[in-house]
Amino acid sequence: MQIPGKLIIFLNGILLAILLSHSMYRDYQLERRFPMDLRNRVVGSRLQKDGRLPYSYYWQPSDGMRYYDLYNWISNGKGVSNITASPFFHSIFNPLFELPQRTISRIWLWLQYFLLACMILMFCRLTANNKEKWLVLNLGILFTTTEAWIALIFYGQIYFIEAFLMSGIIFALVRNTRWFIMLAGILAAAFVLTRPIGIVIFIPFLFYFRKYFLFLLVSFAGLAVYGLFVLINPYEQSLYRNYIRSMKMHAEIHILDDSSSSVHTNPATVSSNVEGFDMNEVKRLIKENPVFSYSEFGNVFVLYNRITHQKMPLALLIFCSACTVVFISGLFYFYGRKHPPEMIQLLLTGFLLYMVVDIFSPVHRAQYNSVQWLPLLFTGILWMKERKPLLFILLLAGLLLNISNFSWLPMRHTLGEFVWVITFLLLIFSYPANNKTLPQSGRVL
């Protein structure tokens, strides 16, 4: 007996509604526990707006609650604070971060779901196939059960902003009209300014710079204009020097310690209320309903340390990262000489390079970094028109490894990420270059 298609869709819709409701309720409860990393973004933005250097800032009672962060462990100006977002990020979100922390936290939670809905809508717009649209919707909602998403909400992290920018770049370039290409260039510049290692996404496009001239022109023009602003503004220069120094110090500190990060608190507690957060209530919630974190540090240097029982030299890590980028880029270049790549293949290659560099980062990348895979998963689903079983199974296996928390398989979430790396390499280099799954409109300059 064959089950009618409409019944399957109906049952699937009910399941998705239950799953989404569960995720939203769980995240509502997590948000009430004071997402600790969101506070340092708020403080960093406020310090920057007030003309103070955030990356070596240490709190003093005379500064009041405006800059107070319970988890900023620095006690003098000689070290580095827990503030790590780029100056550009602080500038963009300053209007939001001037609100009370409790209000910011609520807005930030529902912003993540709004961005997820926008991403699902964008990728659904890139296909006329209803089955593919339904698959994108399923993947988007199922992704809220991954440890990456849970950690994102629990810590109040920023990496889904990067995922949204990645989605916007993919959507705009695939739509492939003059105005959309210019929009993609602006988004790409913003992406690099919030995540400087994102500069590697341009490598595949540089191989075909004549064909993608407008995109590259707008992107690098945006970066150049912002760079000029930094050069002519003395405070911006000092701000970026402070930022670069901080990142170097964080790299040196993290690569020497692959243990789970401990929570450092500021010993000078000024109040039990942090801008609307009752910290006594937060402690009660944590005590009565403890949340177990299954987050992993998915860095190459962490794996190296565990396998060899030695610390990985920073120079070796950088060398291996550069070699991997050169190898994948070179392979793509020579593959493209025989099989001219489609736009989507360039995008997948560029963002895969970005994720690879992220995995080679000398700074611990907790589980929330993995939410940046979602745009690639959406794109991969739409690009697999022929539904090659092996690639689809690998993509699904990586997702399940990022959802599961069984203890018998160590580093399961990290393993899932490496499965995705292999999946996208196979997808980029084994798929027919003339298999146009996604709509192409207009023309590329």
Q: What is the 3-state secondary structure (H, E, C) of the chain?
A: CCCCHHHHHHHHHHHHHHHHHHHHHHHHHHHCCCCHHHHHHHHHHHHHHCCCCCCCCCCCHHHCHHHCCCCCCCCCCCCCCCCCCCHHHHHHCHHHHCCCHHHHHHHHHHHHHHHHHHHHHHHHHCCCCHHHHHHHHHHHHHHHHCHHHHHHHHHCCCHHHHHHHHHHHHHHHHHCCHHHHHHHHHHHHHHHHHCHHHHHHHHHHHCCCCCCHHHHHHHHHHHHHHHHHHHHCHHHHHHHHHHHHHHHHHHHHHHCCCCCCCCCCCCCCCCCEECCEEHHHHHHHHHHCCCCCCCCCCCHHHHHHHHHCCCCCHHHHHHHHHHHHHHHHHHHHHHHHHCCCCHHHHHHHHHHHHHHHHHCCCCCCCHHHHHHHHHHHHHHHHHCCCCCHHHHHHHHHHHHHHHCCCCCCCCHHHHHHHHHHHHHHHHHHHCCCCCCCCCCCCCCC
Residues 105-133 pLDDT 10s: 999 999 999 999 999 999 999 988 888 89
Q: For residue 263, what pLDDT is reported?
A: 41
| pLDDT over 90 at 181, yes or no | yes
- Return the higher-pLDDT residue of 391 and 433: 391
pLDDT, tens digit, for every residue of 22-34?
Answer: 999 999 999 999 9
Tokens for 340? Answer: 């001219």
Residue 330: predicted pLDDT = 94
On average, the pLDDT of the chain sits at: 87
- The pLDDT of residue 3 is 55
Question: What is the reported pLDDT for 282?
Answer: 82
Q: Residue 69 pLDDT more than 70? A: yes
State mean pLDDT over 138-149. 95
Record the pTM. Answer: 0.91
**Residue 384: pLDDT over 90:** no
Residue 120: the pLDDT is: 97
Give the range among 103-112, 253-262, 301-310, 400-409 with minimum mean pLDDT.
253-262
pLDDT over 80 (residue 441):
no
The whole-number pLDDT of residue 283 equals 85
Specify the pLDDT at position 90.
Answer: 94
Q: Indicate the pLDDT class of residue 1, thresholds 50, 70 and 90.
A: very low
